[in-house]
Structure 1
Amino acid sequence: MSAATAKPRVVCISQARMTSTRLPGKVLMEAAGRPLLAHHLERLARCRTLDALVLATTVNGTDDPVAELARSLGVPVFRGDEQDVLGRFAGAAAMAGADVVVRVTADCPLIDPALVDRVVAAFLESAPPLDYLSLDVTRFPRGLDSEVFTRAALDEASASATDPAEREHVTAHIYRRPERFRIGAPLAPEDGSVLDQRWCVDEAADLELVRRLLGALLPENPGFGWQDCCNLLRQHPEWADLNGSVRQNTLH
């Protein structure tokens, strides 16, 4: 970052691949007439704190359609190793000239741009400065997840991490080392609530719930936010039961 530009360049990097273990090809499955990946990227494009949005996918031929869809939406693509997601993120951040990186995953078609902006703003405004900040995934519905960290921390993790889990989960090398990196307290809902729901797509039951939410919300309010999803689920409590038995894969 040059002295002339006080504001760091904030780049959001989303990861996507077709070879998901539980629901292969999920990011291109459709809801409300559009692939999940298109919903995800178009929602992120409404964020106000981002200078750029990049899709990080693999070099595998199976991910050519993922790259093509992103490019058709005007989103630059970085392609790297399928297993080394950390290296893929470091490469995407370098390609985009990032100073600050926002990490999201493409299986979150309901991601809320205002919530992403809240995490980025809190990160940028923190005094003293932070190396890493995330949304509190134990209190928000899963599927809104976002993490913000410095490019320097990402590059250090990419150069140092040897544990395969840390190469796969990108930020684990950072948040597991509070003695090395400045880790912020995760951001909780402003009303202090805890919402134990899943809006990410890992299995067919998740897809069914997301299809119902998008189908109901988009025609009325294309710019809907996460609270609109909450309100709709209060009206249809049986919808939340659709994927109530699905387990979350997590490293935290």
Structure 2
Amino acid sequence: MKITAVIPARYASTRFVGKALEDIQGRPMVQHVYERTSRATLVSDVIVATDDERIAQAVRAFGGRVEMTRADHETGTDRLAEVAARIDAEILVNVQGDEPLIEPGMIDQAIAPLMHDPTLQMATLKSRIKTLHDFLSPNVVKVVADLKGNVLYFSRSPLPNFRDKWNDLKDEAFVSGKLLCFKHVGLYVYRRDFLPVFTALKPTYLELSEKLEQLRALENGYRIKVVETEFDSIGVDTPADLEKVLEKLNAQGAR
């Protein structure tokens, strides 16, 4: 089974223009993402999908594979679907281009459900919430699932709502496991045939309300498997996030 990871990378990011090319210990951020993704055991090939020649040149310079895409895509999934139509792969992994610390094991964990269940079209990841700040923050997407690991809902609001336990909303309660809550990790795996179906669907009410594209799949009755991961990463949305990445790498002495 051929599995290809695609890294959508834009230059004109709203909050951090040109972040894909920001230097991290002598290499552009997109190279860190590419190299870490390449280490995933289940991934056969890695492609950077971009509409910007500056990013394309940087990828070619380190020997990476790049596919140029249209500039009018509204989401990374749309960019992924364009690339998927051109290549020979049964499963596509959408790896965010602003995750320079992504663990290869996370990618393998997200892929595994589609390898074991031929009826499954889409999978993603979740990790434990351990702070009250993350639980309450609208910038941290929460996810709840059924007992079989199928997603019930994603939300920017606190989820679930602890009706009788608001006095327990402290960091310790989350760390100890007294309150089990999960944040969504934005790494997606799709069966190739599902991508054109998904991207052809019109945006839905809940999707537009929460500004969460994955709700479109749920509202149209598609099942999403979510796997818990013990790994954590730092998404780079702002220059401050980049500083956190550099601090972590320097503390690890890693390159």
Question: Do they fold alike, i.e. is TM over 0.5?
Answer: yes
* Structure with higher RCO (Cα < 8 A, 6+ apart): 2
Q: Percent identity?
A: 27
Q: What amino acid is aligned across from residue 67 of structure 1 in structure 2?
A: A
How far off is 1:169 after superposition?
A: 6.7
Q: Which runs of structure 2 are paired with 1:30-179 in the superposition (5 Å)?
A: 30-58=23-51, 63-72=52-61, 73-85=63-75, 86-126=77-117, 129-136=119-126, 139=129, 145-161=186-202, 171-177=214-220, 179=221
Distance in 2, Cα, partners of 1:209 & 1:18: 21
Does the CA-based 8 Å contact 2:101-2:233 persist in structure 1?
A: no
How far off is 1:162 after superposition?
A: 5.1
Pick the aligned partner of 2:228 from 182, 185, 188.
Answer: 188
CA-based RMSD: 2.9
C-alpha distance after superposition, 1:165-202 (max 9, x if no partner):
78x9764532443x2x2322x11135xxxx9x871111
Q: In proportion to residue count, which structure has more strand?
A: 2
C-alpha distance after superposition, 1:191-242 (max 9, x if no partner):
xxxx9x87111111101010111233354xx5xxxxxxxxxxxxxxxxxxxx
In the alignment, structure 1 segments of 5+ residues that lack a partner are 1-6, 223-252
How far off is 1:137 after superposition?
A: 5.4
Q: Partner of 2:69: helix, strand, or coil?
A: strand
How far off is 1:81 after superposition?
A: 2.8
Give the TM-score normalised by structure 1. 0.69
Distance in 1, Cα, partners of 2:100 & 2:185: 9
Q: Report the count of equivalent residues.
A: 199
CA distance change for structure 1 residues 21 and 33 in 2, over 3 Å: closer, same or farther?
A: same
Distance in 1, Cα, partners of 2:216 & 2:186: 18
In the alignment, structure 2 segments of 5+ residues that lack a partner are 131-139, 141-182
